[in-house]
Amino acid sequence: MIIGEHRPSKLVIDREAIRHNIREEVQRLPKDCELFMVVKANGYGHGAVQVAAAAKEAGAKGFCVAILDEALELRAAGFDEPILVLGVVEPEYAPLMAREKVSTTVAAEDWLAEADHYLKLSQPKEPLRVHLGLDTGMGRIGFQTPAALQHAVAFLAEHDTVFTFEGMFTHFSTADEASADYFHKQVERWDAFMAAVPDKPRYVHVTNSATSLWHADHNINIVRYGAAGYGLNPSGNTLKPPFELQPAMSLVSELAHCKQLAAGESVSYGATYTTTKAEWVGTVSLGYADGYERRLQGFHVLVDGQPCEIIGRICMDQFMIRLPHQYPRGTKVTLVGRNGGAEITLQEMAEYCGTINYEIACGFTARVPRRYTH
């Protein structure tokens, strides 16, 4: 996709905020527990390579991604730290992962059998590093019973020339909620899995951001640090983090046009907004093609520290706002972040759209350039 370098709309990413969020968490971890920064989905929209560099500076010892291509991007950028792919990769790419020293998630024994075939055909210099995913109640991927896990562990032991049994993990689905009932149910299932494997691999991990923030006693030797690393509260406003999370993302633009409309004039597609008196209306060069949700009609942006309502439907590339008075073209508009003592957060946008803060962050498309500070 073309990046919009020649318009004023941009995402501003504060690398020091990312470093702060990671340093604060690293200080809370046991000495034998490592932080792996989750940089999937282009670093939650912040830019994977830039985030990985800031995370490494702050003490991250490895990285987690969702798909193989995200791991290869980090390798191409020069990162030689451990990288774990959290999703299921097709077995035919097992030799590539082995060559690139990328660890992969395995969720079923038949995957191992297929990968074994491809690995023996290509004979990479190093074995494939494997983390066995365990489904304790997320219902997404992973082995479902201790017996199935034992079969997989036995398979790895019998094929130790092509596989390295590097890790086991699960994912808690309600660690960010006030009630811990389901969380404890998953813990019980996890304990049953662990009892089935007396000889543990190097990495055993259960903690994402939410688990580490609010259930730190369950940290083992990796924390998969995602949303909190970007300054996003995984629980929204339900739970308070044990330290201040600093948001790393701002979204800014400028007024591309300003005009006065008479009473009775309508704005944007469908004429869903009509002026009741003479109003100053500004146009901002950003739209839903940039990931600025169409659902945000009626929300607001900040101009000169003042909230200005989004009027009419958000277009693909532009939207309109009601201004208190005339402003010159080029006046700064803040869509996320601080402006004149006021602030708009991703959480506020998410609540307005009926979703979560990191869906909003991940939704900004590649057309919006990322600019990095600090």
Catalytic residue among 10, 40, 203, 225: 40
User: 10 Å Cβ neighbour count for 257?
Assistant: 12
CATH of domain 249-344: 2.40.37.10
CA-to-CA separations, 251 to 14, 336, 363, 372, in angstroms, rounded = 11, 5, 12, 12
Q: Is the pLDDT of residue 124 over 90?
A: no
Alpha-carbon distance 206 to 309, whole Å?
43
Sign of CA dihedral 169, 41, 57, 53: positive
pTM beyond 0.85: the answer is yes
Work out the average pLDDT over 49-72.
98
Q: pLDDT tens-digit profile of 299-353?
A: 999 999 999 999 999 999 999 999 999 999 999 999 999 999 999 999 999 999 9
Q: pLDDT tens-digit profile of 239-250?
A: 999 999 999 999
Terminal C-alpha separation, the chain: 27
Max Cα-Cα span within the chain: 79
Sign of CA dihedral 24, 30, 32, 34: negative
Domain ranges for the chain: 15-230, 249-344
User: 10 Å Cβ neighbour count for 112?
Assistant: 23
In whole numbers, what is the pLDDT of the chain averaged over residues? 97
Annotation says 40 is catalytic = yes
Q: pLDDT tens-digit profile of 75-109?
A: 999 999 999 999 999 999 999 999 999 999 999 99
Alpha-carbon distance 102 to 99, whole Å?
8
Work out the pLDDT band at 1, boundaries 50, 70, 90.
confident
**Encoded amino acid at 9, one letter:** S
- Contact in structure between 112 and 152 (CB atoms under 8 Å): yes
Alpha-carbon distance 46 to 60, whole Å?
17
Find out whether 140 is annotated in a ligand binding site.
yes
Work out the pLDDT band at 50, boundaries 50, 70, 90.
very high
- Of 3.40.50.261, 3.40.50.300, 3.40.50.10420, 3.20.20.10, the CATH number of 15-230 is 3.20.20.10
- The pLDDT of residue 65: 98
Annotation says 259 is catalytic = no
- In the chain, pLDDT over 70 holds for what percent of residues? 100
Work out the pLDDT band at 273, boundaries 50, 70, 90.
very high
* Residue 330: HSE in the Cβ half-sphere, 13 Å Cα cutoff: 1
- Contact in structure between 61 and 35 (CB atoms under 8 Å): yes
**Encoded amino acid at 59, one letter:** G
Work out the pLDDT band at 373, boundaries 50, 70, 90.
very high
Q: Is the pLDDT of residue 45 over 90?
A: yes
Best CA proximity match to 8, nearest among 259, 298, 308, 283: 283
Find out whether 316 is annotated in a ligand binding site.
yes
- Contact in structure between 286 and 313 (CB atoms under 8 Å): no
- Contact in structure between 309 and 298 (CB atoms under 8 Å): yes
Sign of CA dihedral 221, 225, 228, 229: positive
